[in-house]
Homo-oligomer: A and B are copies of this chain.
C-alpha cells in the first residue's frame, strides 16, 4: 500500500483523520462531529429534513454547529450526490421588462424551495448551446429557457449526450414533444382577449405579431386570426414586428398607418405583448397624433409594470407567474415530471386603453 506509507510531514497528528490541522480553516462537518461527539454522517443527517436522527442528537449537533459557525458546503454536497439544487435560467432578451418580472418570481419561488439560480446570458442566439453546455458543467438540475429566440430543437441537438437533466421552456410553448413547457394556454388567453375586443365593438383590428421563432413559439397570432376568421369570415390585418422591441413596434405602426386615410385605419391594435403595445401606443399618440382608445384602442399581453401606469393604462392579459414558478419547482424536484406541457390560465386585465 504505497499511499499508506509514512508521510514526510513532521507532525503525526496531521495524519489522524477527523482532526483539524488548521483550526482557522473552513469549518467542516468533521469539526462539528468532533465537538458534538458523533460521526460526520450524523452531522449531515441532522441538517436534512427527513433524516432518521433522534431529536436529542440533532439538538446536540445543531448546538455544536452554531457554536462553530458551520453550514453545509453545497458544492461538496452537489459533487457527492445526484442533486445540485441549482437551476440555470437562460435569457437571451434583456430588452423586455417582463423578463425582470419573470426573474423576480422565478428566483423568489425557487429560493424558498432551496433552489439556487444560475443566471446565464446567452449573448445572442448562436451562443445558446454553448451557454447550455456551460451550465451543464455546473451540474444544474435543470435548464430553464425564458428567452424568445431559442430553438429548442437546436438545443436538443447541441445537448446530445450532455448531462443537462431537464430542459424546460418557461412562458413559452414548445413544438418539441420531449421538451417540458410551462406556460399559459395561448388559445384560452387569446380567446378572452378576442371576445373582449369584439364585445367592445371593435371591428377593424390590426394584429401586431412578434418574432417567428422555430419551436419555442407563442400561438397568439394564429389563434387571433383563426378566431376572427371564424367569427366574421374575414382575416384580420396583421403586421409583423419581428421582435419584441417597443422601438420596432413604434416604427412598424408608424410606417403601416402613417399615410392611411382615416376611415381605413384600424379601430383596435391587438399586440402580441405589452412591449409592442406600448411602442404602438406611443406611435399612435406621438406620430399619428391620434388618441387612445378614442381613435385607436390597444391591447397587450403580460401586464408589465408600465402597463398599469396612468399614461398607458393598458388592457392586457396577466400570466399567473407565481403558480407557474411553483410548477417549475415541482418539475425540477421530480414531483411532476410526467407532464410535458403545463398550460395555465391567466386573466384579462381590462383598463382604459381598449
Q: Is the CB of A282 within 8 A of B305?
A: no
Q: Is the CB of B121 within 8 A of A118?
A: no
> What are 8 A-B residue pairs whose CB atoms fall within 8 Å in the complex?
A71-B137, A74-B138, A75-B139, A94-B100, A97-B97, A99-B100, A104-B121, A107-B120
A131 CA to B310 CA, complexed, in Å: 35
Q: Does A160 contact B (CB under 8 A)?
A: yes
Q: Is the CB of B103 within 8 A of A94?
A: yes
Which chain B residues border A89 with CB–CB below 8 Å? Answer: 119
For chain A, residues 277 to 300, give those with C-beta under 8 angstroms from any C-beta of chain B: 279, 282, 285-287
* Min C-beta distance of A312 to chain B, whole Å: 9
Q: Is the CB of A111 within 8 A of B137?
A: no
Chain B residue at minimal CB-CB distance from A101:
B94
* Min C-beta distance of A310 to chain B, whole Å: 5
Q: Is the CB of B116 within 8 A of A134?
A: yes
A338 CA to B116 CA, complexed, in Å: 31
Which chain B residues border A246 with CB–CB below 8 Å? Answer: 305, 309
- Going nearest first, the 8 A-B pairs with the smallest beta carbon separation are A107-B121, A94-B104, A119-B119, A74-B137, A282-B311, A117-B119, A100-B100, A108-B121
A51 CA to B91 CA, complexed, in Å: 33
